[in-house]
Amino acid sequence: MLRIGIAGIGFMGMVHYLSYQKLRGVKVTALCERDERRLTGDWRGIKGNFGPEGTQMDLAGVATYTELDAMLADQNVDAIDITLPPALHADIAVKALRAGKHVFCEKPMALTPADCQRMAKAAAAANKQLLIGHVLPYFPEYAWALKEIRSGKHGKLLGGSFKRVISDPAWLKNYWNPEIIGGPMLDLHVHDAHFIRLLFGMPLSVKTIGRTHNGLAAHWHTQFDYNSGEAGGADGPAVAATSGTIPQQGRPFLHGFEIHLERATLVFEFGILGGEGAYLCPPTLIDHRGKTTRPKLADGDPMHAFAAELKDVVRCLTKNETHPALGSELALDAIVLCQKQEESLAKGKIVKV
Ligand X SMILES: NC(=O)c1ccc[n+]([C@@H]2O[C@H](COP(=O)([O-])OP(=O)(O)OC[C@H]3O[C@@H](n4cnc5c(N)ncnc54)[C@H](O)[C@@H]3O)[C@@H](O)[C@H]2O)c1
Site residues (vs ligand X, CB under 6 A): 8-13, 32-35, 48, 68, 83-86, 88, 106-107, 133, 135, 187
- Minimum distance of ligand X from residue 48's CB (angstroms): 6
Please, which residue, 107 or 189, has the CB nearer to ligand X?
A: 107
**Residue of this chain nearest to ligand X (CB atom):** 10
HSE at residue 170, side-chain half, CA atoms within 13 A, is 5
- Minimum distance of ligand X from residue 63's CB (angstroms): 14
Please, which residue, 149 or 181, has the CB nearer to ligand X?
A: 181
- Minimum distance of ligand X from residue 21's CB (angstroms): 17
Please, which residue, 109 or 218, has the CB nearer to ligand X?
A: 109
Please, which residue, 84 or 196, has the CB nearer to ligand X?
A: 84
Please, which residue, 8 or 140, has the CB nearer to ligand X?
A: 8
| Cis-peptide, bond into residue 108, ω within 30° of zero | yes
